[in-house]
Structure 1
């Protein structure tokens, strides 16, 4: 029992990126091609740099001829390559490399992430235009649409921050693009980048405005002459 367990451990393990299983279909690989590549990876991990078609097919449910054909196809399609190496004594030998497979997966992964980011950005922008039209109660003019685009593309304001500035303008009773632009300018100057920072800054600003209003009222009241009815 102990010897069997040791033999099992000596077989070793290989690390396979999980993205290979989620993306192999998008790379137009079928299950047989995937298993063949995984077998080559296993051989490489165990020190067999150039396994023969006979060795590979012996682990699979395909013939040697089918294995040869798949190997040729994998090389042609850029998933596998044969490279020349030299031993310490200068003897030339060939080995398989699955580096092209990893490069294809990385390219696929980055392209997928970019597509997701573009889709997310488009959805956020559409939602932003909808929010503005809802608050203004009308379709935006071409100039207003251009201003929105400039806030995102030129000033690099996040759509969430622009929405927050819109809410701030609504709460202040000054619903116009010039006022919203001023809010965004002040926030950028003060390094405000998150919705929480924007809320805190808006709260403090409104408190200051209330204090200023109260101070003005107090000054106005003190400037009015006091009429003493008892002296009449």
Structure 2
């Protein structure tokens, strides 16, 4: 290219960068470790914010996230699960009645709340140090975790729990024949974390749905609810209940 061509190309690139830039909270870049986030988790949050601001995509798929991060879908699903469980992000659902479409979007109010609480604590502690005659700034002593400031910290997820969840994701993806959506990952997480269903029971419900030819999450959830109402807690209970149900002796 000659000088004029290079100049034109450079101006075009500059224009593209200027009009395709995402606004990222500096506090996230500076303090993500204080919030107990890893570098990859912070980068995932940045990608989610960028998808929304630059591309207008409020609920990127795991495949879209895989393209920009270069990481496996199972790892991304695990990190999204952690971010949702610890309250950094949540998923809002809504319906477009005109087009009869249900859609989801990520909600970042939890992230902003944690950052705001951390910064407020930093200012408060700095003022306290000044009152005591100390100079300079100090980092907040209360690290954000689980429910954030003002609530008791939750215990960290053990490695075994993480591996168990990822194994569940992998098995579900294999049976469904496709990657799971973030909403489906959240459903599995809620079965484990909120409903306290054993992994064994979740997998048996998946097996029942495959056997019935109804491999979708609503059907699996109905199975788990039915078992919970009838105090079905393990494989032997499932076997007994299923035989009784199929013999018409409920």
TM-score, normalization: structure 2?
Answer: 0.45
TM-score (norm 1): 0.49
Q: Which has the larger radius of gyration?
A: 1
Q: Which fold has the larger relative contact order, with Cα–Cα distance below 8 Å and residues 6 or more apart in sequence?
A: 2
Structure with the largest fraction of helix = 1
